[in-house]
Amino acid sequence: MTSILAFALPVVVVIATLEGLVLAFVMRRNYNWRAYFASLADALGRQYIVLTFFTLSLAAPASAFAHSHRLFTIPVDTTVATVALLISQDFCYYWFHRCSHRVRWFWATHAVHHSSNELNLAASYRFGWTGRLTGAAIFYVPLLWLGFEPRAVAIASALNLLYQFWLHTDWIPRLGPLEYVLNTPSHHRVHHAANPEYLDHNYGGVLIVWDRIFGTFVAERDDLPCRYGLVQPLRSNNPIIIAFHEWAALARDLWRARSWRDRWSCVVGPPGWQPATAGAFAQPGLACSEHA
């Protein structure tokens, strides 16, 4: 997975740069170049430093155990097996993505992706540096247990992420009948919006059918423009702050929590969770209120 994304990263950066130049100098839009470079720093730091020198993954033991005790061995050497893997991986991605919004431990990393206050191609590769720390790969363990090879699952995951690159635009219109099956820029604009009407919807990677099945689909409305970013917008373009602001807020909330039950709920509850006796614990600006 990392090799595919490392190969693709220069290509997507060039395309994102061309988009920025067109938006800024042809369409005369107010393009945020500081946010562009913040996203670039996040991507380069993740791909060429974090993933290269920090290989520890919290999900690695579970992945290894599942693969060694797999039910079957499923070679991905036929069209049927390939399609089955891609659909199964996308299904697992839906639940990973949904939990990344509803469980604060995973949100601490995923908040980075939503920290840009504009939706453009450069924002697509702003993923943060702590994905392995959270053990996000745990959501793909069932595929290994069924019998898919880890490398095949990693390739499917990389292709899923590459598909989503073009979804991060606000200038591609609705795509007709494709909107019923595929995740499209229109659906993904809703996902990145912080408007209460749009919040926590459209988690699909390639397919939008999972959202339609599990009740998390919301269509983009012409009368309700999307406001992108976090509920409490992050104004900094410092890559360090972007990468760790939610972890710092989580640490503050854990420190202020008054019981171990509250601490546990703060970690595994949704980003907006607050104890019944919040008091000074729930202060505006804490990441507990920054869910988007």
Percentage of the residues of the chain whose pLDDT score is greater than 70: 93
pLDDT, position 56: 87
Q: Which of 64, 51, 246 is nearest to 138 (CA)?
A: 64
What does the alpha-carbon distance between residue 243 and residue 232 come to, in Å, rounded to a whole number? 16
Report pLDDT digits (tens) over 254-289. Answer: 999 999 999 999 999 999 888 765 544 443 333 333
Predicted confidence band of residue 4 (pLDDT cuts 50, 70, 90): confident
Whether the pLDDT of residue 118 is over 90: the answer is yes
Q: pTM for this structure?
A: 0.93
Q: Where are the alpha helices (DSSP H) in 103-231?
A: 104-110, 131-134, 141-146, 150-164, 185-192, 209-214
What does the alpha-carbon distance between residue 29 and residue 31 come to, in Å, rounded to a whole number? 6
What does the alpha-carbon distance between residue 208 and residue 183 come to, in Å, rounded to a whole number? 5
Paired with 148 in beta bridges are 74
